Structure 1
Amino acid sequence: MAQVLEFKLPDLGEGLTEAEIVRWLVEVGDVVAVDQPVVEVETAKAMVDVPCPYSGVVTARFGAEGTELPVGAPLLTVAVGEPADGGPAAAAGPAESGGARGRTPATEGSGNVLVGYGTAEAPARRRRVRPPQAAPAPPAPPAASAAPAAPATNGQVRTAEPAAARTRAPGAVDGPVPVISPLVRRLARQNGLDLREMTGSGPDGLILRADVEYALRAAAAQGRPGAAAGEPGPRTDRASGPAPGAESPGVTRVPLKGIRGTVADKLSRSRAEIPDATCWVDADATELMRTRAAMNAAGGPKVSVIALLARICTAALARFPELNSSVNTGAREIVRYADVHLGFAAQTDRGLVVPVVRDAHTRDAESLTAEFARLTGAARSGTLTPAELTGGTFTLNNYGVFGVDGSTPIINHPEAAMLGIGRIVPRPWVHEGELAVRQVVQLSLTFDHRVCDGGTAGGFLRYVADCVEQPAVLLRTL
């Protein structure tokens, strides 16, 4: 007799608590093998294929493409084991070959690791608290009754959901209120919102961050404190239309979620915590461009401009290690790093990401060029792993690719500095006492004023500019 097992969205690591379904890779009725990818999801850090720990026949899928699910929510169910009639599940034999493993794939998982997590069952501590049986949630609206097993957590579905479906009478919950993370509970507490008056839109009434934020927006729209936010307020969305006296029909609301939401949170934290300052300088990059042309004319792999600037940057950090650091505000100490893990800003269709080149200080120009190309390709295809997006100690921001000369970038928290690079363009420049047309670039350094003073920051930027203007200066430190 076949046994039907439920596969839930696993813990994706790196503090990620939810993911959006981008594309299903299997259909109901398909035969799947152990470790076969069954769904492509987008987290706040990357796109990943989620492998199934069971082999058998897919009997159900939960969540349409575009739906956002919390960790622990059901993804699909699989009928495992050989049915008595030798039906479709028996076709999974090749995936179950190998002795004992073929008889127990449903309970053991493969143990393989993909992007920081395996297909083994998630630890018990990640399981969510279910509401007490004595306090059932109010009936779901008719649109949701057709598929009760699929949690309606997509941003668009939530905003179109009537507020009455998201609130309950005061005192309806006597036990712990189930929330997706402690951050949600803290957000509600800081704004005076009573979670007992809410019914979450997640599985089994799980209260998501979007539920709390919606209740707070509704309260703000009516000019009331968050404690009374359980009642609906005027709002505009595609499902219900604008309320009387609300904003104009042309307003569009775009949920801050996924990569864009993570970037928004990180930039806000950087601005709130880091007392940053910016200095900049114009540099004559003519000799740097000639040096690159000579290197590429000599044969072998081509060297990119960003790789040369990265090599200059690592040499500058060796002279000014104060900038390769971070601040531990809790311990009130500066943490300096011996290794340079160099991040670089990369614009993608899904938003801004910062891949990290590990041990950049040990790489030459050719190695840096190859690694920049690899990580840029992975960023554009959405296949960067969380490990490739974390752990940076210093960041390069080449905003010159957008055709602009200067910028005051926001530091990539928790780092202490970021070097900005403008476009390299022909400009009038006084060279050897005469006016000439030279290739000029503007360099800017935004730094955390807690880790160093202006003299250190200026010395770092001046050394970078000197190496750009006279690449031979770099040879002194190689």
Structure 2
Amino acid sequence: MAQVLEFKLPDLGEGLTEAEIVRWLVKVGDVVAIDQPVVEVETAKAMVEVPCPYGGVVTARFGEEGTELPVGAPLLTVAVGEPAAEPEGSGNVLVGYGTQAPAARRRRVRAGTAGVDGHARRPGTASAEPHARVHAPAATPAATQAATQAPAPAEGPVPVISPLVRKLARDNGVDLRRLAGSGPDGLILRADVEDALRAGAGRVRTAEEPVVPTTAAAPAGGEPAVRAPAAAPRAEAGVRVPLKGVRGAVADKLSRSRREIPDATCWVDADATELMRARTAMNTAGGPKISLLALLARICTAALARFPELNSFVDTQAREIVRLDQVHLGFAAQTERGLVVPVVRDAHARDAESLTAEFARLTESARAGTLTPGELTGGTFTLNNYGVFGVDGSTPIINHPEAAMLGVGRIVPKPWVHEGELAVRQVVQLSLTFDHRVCDGGTAGGFLRYVADCVEQPAVLLRTL
């Protein structure tokens, strides 16, 4: 006898609490296999294909394309041929999760009493604006049963979807015990805290007031489905673009950077003629071609070895500056979906050929939308080549929580005094935006001057090779 099982939006890791349905991959009546992707969703970190842990016939789908769902909301129901047992799963993984994740671990996540991925992360491992297309985990039946049976406790820890939501409430003075969670079994989501902040008092429940549901009609199983949309704002002229998904994550991160980092910028013009000649000589000698970005990255890593203060981050809780031994170099890559910042791991240990190959690989993955979360997080310093947009200079916002960003403008012929005479040289403007907490202007100026010296005289690099 067939049994209908409900599959809910699983925990996608990295502190994510919601996702938007981009495209359904199956229809009602389709036959699906275990671990077959059934829906494509967009989170603040990635484009994700979500596999279903059950094999059978799709009997219902919840949510239209464009609908935003919280973690734990129903996605679809599947009629299976035999009573359900723990599915085998294939072990498809996203940030350490798979369809065979231990039930106890899932139960902690669903109950809202533990972190989303169970692992502590160094500040700054959150992605800037990733667009990876990867396989997401599917929740196990044991985890689903634990989620439906675990009521919100009246005393003790308040059921919250993630530590990030708890921190958001704490930082803004919101009493979680007074909120009516809109998630499964009263689980408090980030949207609940944000609604409370917008409303001043928020959705507050008292002894005299009943809890007002914040979800739309639920399926037959009694679980809440999609959060009811908020009342439409008053119609005004202009086009409204929702700040959600990757765009919202970028807005939040840039706002946090401006709010927390006291940045300053210094810049210098440099004669890049000799650097361009050196690159031409390398590329005519045979072997793989060397990119200009790779040479600039090699200069950056050499400069960071001399000025390690700029390869660091500030631990605001401990009031400490943490200097890092390894350079994980982020670089800006423009794609159809917007600007992303892939990260070259251990850039300090790579030569120009290796850097060129890695830049090319990550750029191609960025444009194809196949970058993984690990390739978009954990940067320690960013190289921003805005010269590709045809501009000379910029004062960028630091990629939080990094301490600095080197900007490189376009290289163009300009009048320049060379060896005492006026000549036409290839000139580039370099800028360094830095966190003034980690160093003073002397250190920042020394770093930038060393970079400019290497651009003007590439032989200076021989001292550090």
User: What is the TM-score with the length of structure 2 in the denominator?
Assistant: 0.76
Q: Quick one: structure 1 residues 288 and 192, their matched pair in 2 at CA, closer, same or farther if it must change by over 3 Å? A: closer
Pick closer, same or farther for the CA change 1:113–1:360 going to 2, 3 Å.
same
What code does the residue aligned with 2:46 have? A
Distance 1:240-1:409 versus aligned 2 partners, 3 A rule: closer
Shift of 1:204: 6.8
Q: 1:120 aligns with which of 100, 103, 107?
A: 100
Determine helix, strand or coil for the equivalent of 1:127. Answer: helix
CA distance in 2, matches of 1:8, 1:281: 55
Match of 2:201 in 1: 227
> 311-320 vs 48-57, which deviates more?
48-57
**Amino acid aligned to 1:116:** G
Q: Deviations over 1:421-457 (max 9, x none)?
A: 1111111111111111111111111111222222211
Q: One-letter code of the match for 1:285?
A: A
Larger CA deviation: 466-475 vs 202-211: 202-211
Give the counterpart of 1:321 among 287, 292, 308. Answer: 308
Counterpart position of 2:354? 367
Q: Which amino acid aligns with 1:464?
A: V
The alignment status of 1:462 with 2:455, answered yes or no, reads: no
RMSD in angstroms over aligned alpha carbons? Answer: 3.1
Cα separation, 2, equivalents of 1:37 and 1:174: 35
Q: Give 1:373 shift.
A: 1.8
Tell me the equivalent position of 1:94: none
Structure 2 residue 86 is matched with structure 1 residue 109? no
Question: 1:379 corresponds to which residue?
Answer: 366
Q: Which amino acid aligns with 1:278?
A: T
Partner of 1:57: 57
Alpha-carbon displacement from aligned partner over 1:59-99 (angstroms, at most 9, x marks no partner)? 2222222222222222222223359xxxxxxxxxxxxxxxx
Distance 1:364 1:182, change over 3 A: closer
Query: What SS class does the counterpart of residue 428 from structure 2 fall into?
Result: strand
Pair 200,229 (structure 1): closer, same or farther in 2 beyond 3 Å? closer
Q: What residue identity is the alignment partner of 1:109?
A: G
The answer for the alignment partner of 2:81 in structure 1 is 81
**CA-CA distance at 1:419 after TM superposition:** 0.6
Deviations 1:166-199 (A, max 9, x none): xxxxxxx995887655655665677687889987
> Structure 1: which 5+ runs fail to align?
84-102, 130-172, 220-225, 231-236, 243-247
SS at match of 1:123: helix
Are the aligned partners of 2:110 and 2:161 in contact in 1 as well (CA < 8 Å)? no
**Where does residue 70 of structure 2 map in the other structure?**
70
Map of 2:18 onto structure 1: 18
Question: 2:293 & 2:453 partners in 1: Cα distance?
Answer: 16
Whole-angstrom CA distance in 2 between matches of 1:43 and 1:228: 25
2:376 is the alignment partner of 1:389: yes
2:425 is aligned to: 438
CA shift, 1:291, in A, is 1.7
- Say if 1:259 and 1:351, in contact at 8 Å, map to a contact too: no
Structure 1 residues 235-279: Cα deviation after superposition (integer angstroms, max 9, x where no partner): xx998673xxxxx73133322111111111112222222222111
Larger displacement relative to structure 2 (59-68 or 395-404): 59-68
Classify the secondary structure of the residue corresponding to 1:117.
coil
Give the counterpart letter for 2:28 in structure 1.
V
Question: Structure 1 counterpart of 2:328, which letter?
Answer: H
Tell me whether 1:267 sits opposite 2:254 in the alignment.
yes
The structure having more radius of gyration, on CA atoms, is: 1
CA distance in 2, matches of 1:368, 1:415: 21
On the 8 A contact 1:356/1:389 being kept in 2, the answer is yes
Counterpart Cα distance in 2 of 1:2 and 1:297:
69
Greater Cα shift, 282-291 or 73-82: 73-82
- TM-score using structure 1 length: 0.75
Which is bigger in relative contact order (C-alpha 8 A, separation at least 6)? 2
Check whether the contact 2:328–2:379 (CA below 8 A) recurs between aligned residues: yes
Give the gaps of 5 or more residues in structure 2.
Answer: 113-151, 205-228
